[in-house]
Chain A
Amino acid sequence: MAEFSGWLLDLYEDPQAGVVLWFITEETKRVRLRQVFPVTFYIGGEEKELKRAGVFLQSHFPSARIFFTNRKDLYSQSQIPVLAVETQPIHITALVRRVAKQFPRLDYYDADIPIAIRYASRFKTFPLALCRVTHEEEQLQALEVLDSPWELDPPPPPLRTLQIDLDCDPRYGKPELLTIRFNDKEHRIPIQYERSSLIRLNSILTNFDPDLLLTNSGDIWLLPYLLDMSKRTGIALNLNRDPNRSVMIKKEGSYFSYGRIVYRSQQTLLFGRCHIDSRNSMLWQDYDLASALEMARVTRLPIQTAARCSPGTGINMMEVITALRQGVLVPWQKTHGEEVKNAYQLLRNDQGGLVYQPIEGIHENVGMIDFISLYPSIMTYCNISPELPVPKDLGVSPFPPGLIPITLRPLLEKRVAMKQHLLSLPPDDPQKPYYQARTSSLKMLLVCCFGYMGYKAAKFGRIESHEAISALGREALLRAKEAAEDMGFTVLHLYVDGIWVKKEGCSQPDDFLPLLNEIVDQTSLPIALDCIYRWVAFLPSKQDSHMTVPNRYFGTKQDGSSTVRGIEIRKHDTPAYITRMQEDLLGIFETAANVRELHNLLPRALSLVLERYKNLRAGRVRTADLVVHKRMSKELSAYRVRSVAAIAAQQLEDIGQPIRLGQRIPLVYTLGKPGVSAWHEHIPLDPRSVNYAYYCELLTRAAGAITQPLQMDEEALNMYLISDGINFASESLFPLH
């Protein structure tokens, strides 16, 4: 028997039996072990039908162990008789499919749980957990986890990371050069010489032996391309660390989520080492590797899966672990429907968060107070869980904690602790981005937990609980509003979990402290002063200038940083040239300490807009900076009137580059018909055909959104720009208010 301490890197089904585990030992060795680990799923339903299913299973799958037992049903909170089927992890999916096809009227439980989640529920493991391992040869005998997913500063594993970059985006052209980086070294490999590039790549992979392979477009292009090359040349490519497994390719797909179609591209997954494609990682754009690893630690999903899955899947898996540990059945397909409601109940319950129309204009010294993770806090504080009665008011529940609060509490506590730790760090602390990335991934999970509760197919969802959470959220926000008004504050805006207030003489954090204490007294929920704005501008709706809209504002905080919501800079379909103009414009206003200084900065801001406008009008802008990305929301054949996205998608399809639902299509607005050209290296585009006049309109609109609160709306700005700024005299034409 031997023993070592090390970090768990990867875990998957053994093609023979049990599971394979990869560890990085403290001596930095990479060790593969195997473990016997049978898994069980359960079948519920009519006794007669269950017996028939038992006979069927015994005759078709003699190696499976089949027996009757009792397990706890979450919704009825009682033990129900079920047929248990114990088998090897590698066989379970096929077995479930076969029996479910034969007996579709039976209920199936614990049938689709990933092996890493089953293992985590039993041994308290998680990716990169520090473990003490006892083994005999390749067989794992005992495992003890030495840290927990809730550690703020877990012991860092000595991960070896290899990054492969391409010289161009494979969606728009064929890459010719790979740049490989590891340990401060850089290798450049031209792909055209297939044999030599494979030999060099193999040598790097063998000698450096990375744990993490970071790529850009590795899922859809690079790894499949390298594997094809390997097939063509007959030179084996050791992408996997486990020589017994071949690379797994999961097919692409599209799904509907939160009112829009989302495209999920093909995934290329490795065994024994992890491949993360930054382009196919949901969290990567906003955060980075730290957030992907944090996601893996807390959800217990393998690193490769956690980097690619939605936070909804993550939170679902955390709930599944709680259920497995409590011996609660995890339904395969949920059968628990919505309760019958009368019209009034429906009217009253079917509401979202409370959202005000803010008071239009620029306001100084505005305190932004928000509830810390409002919905998760309500879920844990009021004990909201699908198996429990729905609470009617903000208060402590008389019932023992339910499945959802048990799952959420450590996550919530970790986020709050990490946020507090972040606040204690000086602004220029190099550790800050690391903690920020991790707390953001925790936030995503917490936010999704509420939404998931209302999702009809969620394993542990219940619409009544979902409605109760938002009702209590509205109650908390109204109590906060009442407390603020009682203390003489003007409530400028309410937005679900945040409240914007101002009061003459209140400009420092301590001035808002009594209000914070009062809100905590009234709601018992954690709250914090998020920031104080030196100034904040709430903007009117683009459709109706009479109205302000809840989420369209910008402002500068006392620490000098800015917040921007709902304007072009935040939108995916704004060309880079216009985004940069808006950024620079905001950069000018950012320096203003108050409204008077904002007005004084207007002439400088206008000359910047004029300069960019003139460049655009004269076509002195790179076409690449004018590319707009639009999402395909329907199949091409489903468009009756073709949108610009559909026209561009057709153009791409015509050159053999089909677009899938939910994918973003890069395009440029052009003169004449059809008015748009897909942006691709094989679709020629003469810069003279670009519709610069239309881009000028877009630029004016974007600049107008910023200058509007300073009495320079889009129309006035347009007058200023088309007359080259010669009719403008700020004081006389646009007097201060």
Chain B
Amino acid sequence: MTSQTHAMLDEATAVLLTPGGLDLAALDAGLGHAMGPGIDYADLYFQRSWHEGWVLEDGEVKEASYNIDGGVGVRALAGEKTGFAYSNQITADALAETGRTAAGIVRHGDRLGVAPGVAMGSQARYAGVDPLTGLSAEDKIAMLKLADRVARAADPAVSQVSASLTGVHEVVLVRASDGTLAADIRPLVRFNVSVIAVRNGRRERGSAGGGGRYAMQRLRDENVAERYAKEAVRQALVNLEAVDAPAGQMPVVLGPGWPGILLHEAVGHGLEGDFNRKGSSAFAGRIGQRVASPGVTVVDDATLADRRGSLSVDDEGTPGQSTTLIEDGILTGYMQDKVNARLMGMAPTGNARRESFAHLPMPRMTNTYMRAGHDDPADILKSVRRGIYAVSFGGGQVDITSGKFVFSASEAYLIEDGRITAPVKGATLIGNGPEAMGRVSMIGHDMELDTGIGVCGKEGQGVPVGVGQPTLKLDELTVGGTQS
């Protein structure tokens, strides 16, 4: 156990347990309530978070908000059954009540003991800082006003600018009946700029943003206010020129970075352990089989330093890992939490995540990306006679059972005879995950991660994620434009 792990546990104890009169030793008794007859595993998840948001509109920061959230979630498992209860009070009484409630999922069977808590050393993937301190309120407001000035100065067509700066300071502690004891301090910050540009009666939006697990100062040091303001204006101006998108099947080239949302939707969700245990995923039972073109290697990596989707430990206390999902086109692994891993006879992969103490953990993605290939991005574009080049996306969705997925372009261009020509209006692209991955024919050497803006939703729970990929060519995908 490292001194860093000690320090993290001490801080989590002070923040989460001490105010309610608890200490680490008291958690054994707390877990005991959840380990009722027939329960084979139980865990306690303590969380406290502070969220701050500053919003600029009309050149002025007129609105700011602050939210304090926290409590304990208690989960009791018996085979495939899960009992769950939570409380926003972290006291011995609350642990007893929620523990007994969660354990009520079964009413008979053996009473198993609680293994002594052992703090496992895990490597920190980000600094355990409070990102809300460090910059003064004046500094934060100055950043937002800078974004406004830069955006308005960039082009006279810019008519509206909004910018936001948000930060979350989160402290979690996990204690499970198998002896797990882990703590994490997770900073998360984000800066966003959105503009409306108007020209000749036409109105379009552009937006840009990013962030990660670090202090707000870094956003200022990296001058994101100016960069994202310029980027948002550039995108709005491009969209002012956009023509109607074509409709039908055609080759699609995806730019590097954020278009990696393709992987998140087309393969990522389908490789989450719960769907595969239940057999409801189009990828169920296909480990060892070819599910993508040769050269396609997809990883889910929680260990990337300071990234939005990174985790030092997951929400079950398992250290974050890098898991290869697809290697050279062959399906090699699923993303697992403890429950699904145990039921499938596999190892947990550090992918257990939950929106908060009031939600059950599930296998979720962290940072999901495709490794670089060998093609020159310019050659990839040159290879397309008529198709679409999409560089930014709004969001996506997948039906993991049929494999159908969509993602919606927010900045895209026509490719004609190997050259990028006119920008086209946003269009939804639709495909079938395994089929689409088999149509990847060229992979660029320009792998990029996104700037840190992703939120993934699953069963109503949102968690921050990252995506990435190199420039990529799919030989055929359905483009949902309006022109035949």
Answer yes or no: do A and B interact.
no
Which residues from chain B sit less than 8 Å from chain A, CB to CB? none
